[in-house]
């Protein structure tokens, strides 16, 4: 029984995905020759899923067997410690306790936040059909995220420093008009204090954000229209120059949406390929554009591997299973005397306690992202 083998990922089409072959998801799907995959140049290819999620289960390449079915029949590939540690996530039934994704984003995603583990368990127990966790249909996992940029990538994540938000409240009248004066006064006082992490400051930020998100619809639509008109006429202040383009972009994608005003309260992050951000539970975020890898954390890890042409990199055995995707180049994965040829778009499962050698072809670099879990 091989411990290293190819698997077939699945694609997900959502409105916010990149179109046709401009999408890394479509590029990898085409390169991997997913059975039945036919490129639609007008369709949005948003996500590539690699794992055992029932809504998009990977198959063992060359068969009709799902990865979950195969792992259930061969639990040694999961590793006994991982099966024991993640039993409540369906590990005994072959369900991996993580879902590895590639996202290709054309339009901004909705602003969201994920609960911590305690809240996730409570939500799952209360409404299991609605809150299903991060990896499979029947678990209560929380879902913190790590975003690893594959192409130039932008996101809004986490709150700006209170002093910076306060500056916008004072200078951007369209924003200030949406916040009741008592809440504004409370926030400006908290922002000017020495301890911006105090309970009072956190309460002030919570009240401000809540007031913004629940502002009267007619009012915020009118103020947003005023703001966009001013920016399009070149009337942005010096303080606003950093958010002007983001405001106009978000409004072009979601005209009249209250979320456009989040440009004034959330960090706007620009990343280059290979850079990453961590999104903790409870932290608001919205991906804006670009392609990224989305492995779950903190129980899980992701390894970026860059092997120069003609060279070899050896990875020692780890106690849990892993999934790797080739993002550039070609070469071989060697384990226990067997060789598996790989190229861009190929997705590979590596069983627990399995050492591998990654050998790049002579003509160019071999780039691989490997997501894995180990039981602590």
Place of tokens 């499979």: 136
Q: What is the pLDDT of residues 15-41, one digit of tens each?
A: 999 999 999 999 999 988 888 899 999
Q: What is the per-residue pLDDT for 248?
A: 97
**Which of 79, 90, 87 shows the shortest CA–CA distance to 57?**
90
Which H or E run contains 342?
strand 338-343
Mark the binding-site residues, compressed into ranges: 112, 114, 145, 285
Q: What is the pLDDT of residues 71-125, one digit of tens each?
A: 999 999 999 999 998 888 788 999 998 888 898 988 887 666 655 555 555 545 6
Q: What is the per-residue pLDDT for 115?
A: 52
171 φ, ψ to 5°? -95, -25
Place of tokens 């583990």: 117
Q: What is the per-residue pLDDT for 357?
A: 97
- Per-residue pLDDT band for 180 (boundaries 50, 70, 90) equals very high
Mark the binding-site residues for Zn(2+), compressed into ranges: 112, 114, 145, 285
11 φ, ψ to 5°? -110, 150
pLDDT above 90 coverage of the chain, percent: 62
Q: What is the per-residue pLDDT for 250?
A: 94
269 φ, ψ to 5°? -110, 135
Q: What is the pLDDT of residues 111-163, one digit of tens each?
A: 666 555 555 555 456 666 654 554 444 444 544 566 778 888 888 888 999 99
- Per-residue pLDDT band for 270 (boundaries 50, 70, 90) equals confident
d(C-alpha 252, C-alpha 228), whole Å: 10
CA distance to 33, 64, 179, 206, 339, per residue, from 4 (Å): 19, 18, 57, 48, 9
Average pLDDT over every residue of 176-197? 91
All domains in the chain, ordered by first residue: 4-156+272-294 (2.60.120.10), 161-263 (1.10.441.10), 301-373 (2.60.120.10)
Q: How many CB atoms lie within 10 A of CB 37?
A: 15
The answer on pLDDT for 217 being more than 90 is yes
Locate 216 and state its tokens. 């009267």
Place of tokens 């994540």: 157
Place of tokens 């504004």: 184
Which residues pair with residue 117 across a beta bridge?
A: none
Q: Strands across the sheet with 322-328, in order?
A: 59-60, 4-8, 347-350, 322-328, 366-373, 300-307
Work out the angle between the directed axes of helices 199-213 and 181-191 (0-180°, nearest 10).
140
Q: Which residues contact 73 (CB under 8 A, 6 or more apart)?
A: 94
Work out the angle between the directed axes of helices 181-191 and 162-171 (0-180°, nearest 10).
140
Q: Is the CB of residue 33 less than 8 Å from the CB of residue 39? A: no
**Which of 52, 24, 298, 266 shows the shortest CA–CA distance to 149?**
24
d(C-alpha 73, C-alpha 78), whole Å: 11
From the number of C-beta atoms within 10 Å of its C-beta (0-12, 13-18, 19+), residue 182 rates as exposed
Q: What is the pLDDT of residues 324-341, one digit of tens each?
A: 999 999 999 999 889 999
């Amino acid at each position: 029984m091989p411990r290293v083998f190819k698997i077939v990922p699945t694609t997900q089409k959502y409105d916010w995905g990149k179109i046709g072959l401009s999408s890394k998801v479509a590029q990898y799907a085409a390169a991997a020759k997913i059975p039945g995959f036919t490129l639609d140049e007008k369709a949005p290819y948003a996500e590539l899923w690699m794992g055992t999620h029932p809504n998009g289960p990977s198959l063992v390449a060359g068969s009709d067997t799902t990865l979950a079915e195969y792992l259930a029949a061969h639990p040694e590939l999961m590793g006994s410690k991982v099966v024991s540690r993640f039993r409540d996530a369906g590990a005994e039934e072959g369900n991996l306790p993580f879902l590895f994704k590639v996202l290709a984003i054309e339009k901004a995603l909705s602003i969201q936040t994920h609960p911590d583990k305690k809240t996730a368990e409570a939500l799952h127990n209360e409404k299991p059909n609605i809150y299903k966790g991060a990896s499979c249909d029947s678990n209560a996992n929380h879902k913190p995220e790590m975003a690893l940029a594959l192409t130039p990538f932008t996101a809004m994540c986490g709150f700006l420093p209170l002093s910076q938000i306060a500056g916008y409240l004072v200078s951007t009248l369209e924003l200030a008009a949406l916040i009741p004066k008592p809440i504004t006064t409370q926030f400006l006082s908290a922002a000017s204090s020495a301890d911006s992490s105090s309970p009072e400051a956190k309460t002030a930020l919570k009240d401000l954000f809540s007031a913004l998100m629940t502002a009267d619809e007619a009012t915020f639509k009118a103020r947003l229209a005023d703001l966009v008109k001013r920016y399009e006429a070149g009337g942005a202040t010096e303080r606003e120059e950093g958010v002007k383009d983001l405001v106009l972009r978000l409004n072009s994608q979601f005209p009249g949406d209250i979320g456009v005003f989040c440009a004034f309260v959330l960090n706007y992050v620009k990343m280059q390929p290979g850079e990453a951000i961590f999104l903790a539970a409870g932290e608001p975020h919205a991906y804006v554009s670009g392609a990224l890898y989305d492995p779950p954390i903190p129980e899980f890890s992701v390894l970026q591997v860059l092997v120069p042409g003609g060279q070899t990199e050896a990875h020692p055995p780890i106690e849990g299973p892993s999934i790797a995707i080739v993002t550039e180049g070609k070469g071989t994965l060697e384990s226990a005397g067997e060789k598996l040829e790989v190229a861009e778009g190929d997705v590979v499962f590596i069983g627990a306690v399995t050492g591998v050698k990654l050998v790049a072809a002579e003509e160019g670099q071999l780039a691989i992202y490997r997501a894995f879990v180990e039981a602590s």
